Structure 1
Amino acid sequence: MSDQGDLHGSCLCGGVRYRAALPVFHASHCYCTMCRKQHGAAAGSYANVASAGLVIEQGAGLIAEYASSADGRRDFCRVCGSTLFWRSTESPDRVAITLGTLEPEYGGPVERELFADNKPAWRPRG
């Protein structure tokens, strides 16, 4: 997090840069099949913020959107494939930013686990 009260992040290639206004309403790990497949990991990890505070500072034209379900939209960099945002059509006032794209790394708590019954057996224990 920055001194200005914003989160900052970018994709792997650096083509997309964004900032998002605080506060984080909650952070989560989502174990649904779609998040697991998109992230290639045990879970998708997100910070949920107000969509009005999200500003694409660089590379807006590099962002592609995939409608993964009737109510879910997933944004990613079309150059490097980095997962950037998840948006719900049912809650357009919120956007979920992927924790792994934040610079510096997210220092707040992760309060929620979504679809916890889908946690893979191979995930790290701890």
Structure 2
Amino acid sequence: MLTGSCLCGAVAYRAEGPVRHASHCYCTMCRKQHGAAAGSYANVAAAGFTIERGAERVTEYASSSHGRRGFCSVCGSNLYWRSTEAPDRIAVTLGTLEPEFSGPVEREWHTGQKPNWLPVR
């Protein structure tokens, strides 16, 4: 089971595993939403995702015809990404997990948009 919350603590959630995969996405939308080099996610079953506190504080933004991004309306923390084309899955943001995610990040998406300012591995 994964648990997480936003920066201000208004929203808390849980996501029952298993994690299908964890990923970093370098698409422009993820980079802009996160204000970082990538959006980092754990892909889990939507049926096991529950907002335990602060559901009224979660706002969704339709970033594309099929993508919905959930965030806290108080502090702005990015909580999840979900696709209307794959309603059985949801991708929770790794940075909001408590304790921190201990699994491997197995996938990278949109690597052609990876920022040049990232250090080379």
TM-score class, shorter? over 0.9
**SS at 1:122 equivalent:** coil
**SS at 1:73 equivalent:** strand
Q: Deviations over 1:55-109 (max 9, x none)?
A: 1110000000000000100000000000001000110000000000000000001
Q: Deviations over 1:7-63 (max 9, x none)?
A: 000000000000000100000000000000000000000000000000111000000
- What does residue range 1-126 of structure 1 map to in structure 2 within 5 Å? 6-126=1-121
In structure 2, the gaps of 5 or more residues are none
Give the aligned length.
121
* Rounded Cα–Cα distance in structure 2 between residues aligned with 1:92 and 1:9: 21
What letter corresponds to residue 66 of structure 1 in structure 2?
Answer: Y
* Rounded Cα–Cα distance in structure 2 between residues aligned with 1:48 and 1:123: 24
**SS at 1:55 equivalent:** strand
* Rounded Cα–Cα distance in structure 2 between residues aligned with 1:95 and 1:125: 30
**SS at 1:12 equivalent:** coil
What letter corresponds to residue 102 of structure 1 in structure 2?
Answer: L
Q: What root-mean-square deviation, in Å, do the aligned CA atoms of Structure 1 and Structure 2 show?
A: 0.6
Cα distance, 1:125 vs structure 2 = 2.9
What letter corresponds to residue 81 of structure 1 in structure 2?
Answer: G
Structure 1 stretches of at least 4 aligned residues deviating more than 4 Å after TM superposition: none
* Rounded Cα–Cα distance in structure 2 between residues aligned with 1:125 and 1:40: 20
Cα distance, 1:124 vs structure 2 = 3.0
| Percent identity of equivalent pairs | 71
In structure 1, the gaps of 5 or more residues are 1-5
